[in-house]
Amino acid sequence: MPFRVKSFLLVCLVALLSGCNGYQKILKSSDVNYKLTKANEYYNNKKWQHANELYESLLPVMKNTRNYEPLYYRYAYSFYYMKDYLAASFHFKNFVDFFPTSKDADECEYMHGVSLFKYSPKYSLDQTNTIKAMEALQSYVNTHPGSKRLPEANGYLDQCRNKLETKEADAAKLYYNISQYKAASVAYKSVLHTYPESPNAEYYQLMVEKSLYYYAKASIMEKQEERFANATTAYHDLLDAYPHSRYLTEAEKYNSLSDNYIKLIRYEHK
Give me the DSSP letters along 4-35.
Answer: HHHHHHHHHHHHHHHHHHHHHHHHH---HHHH
Is the alpha carbon torsion for 164, 165, 170, 175 positive or negative?
positive
- Under a CB-based contact definition with an 8 Å cutoff, are residues 47 and 34 in contact? no
pLDDT one-digit tens code per residue, 108-150? 999 999 999 999 999 888 899 999 999 999 999 999 999 999 9
Q: Which residues, other chains included, contact 62 with Cβ-Cβ below 8 Å and sequence gap of 6+?
A: 32, 36, 68, 71
- Mean pLDDT for the stretch of residues 248-252: 97
What's this model's pTM, rounded to 2 decimal places?
0.81
Instruction: Identify the band that residue 20 occupies on the pLDDT scale cut at 50, 70 and 90.
Output: low
Q: What is the pLDDT of residues 44-80, one digit of tens each?
A: 999 999 999 999 999 999 999 999 999 999 999 999 9
pLDDT for the residue 4? 56
Q: Say how many C-beta atoms besides its own lie within 10 A of residue 186's C-beta.
A: 14
Residue type, 14: V
Domains and CATH numbers, the chain: 179-270 (1.25.40.10)
Tens digit of pLDDT for each residue in 218-228?
Answer: 999 999 999 99
Q: 248 and 238 in contact (C-beta within 8 Å)? A: yes
What is the average pLDDT value for the chain, to the nearest integer? 91
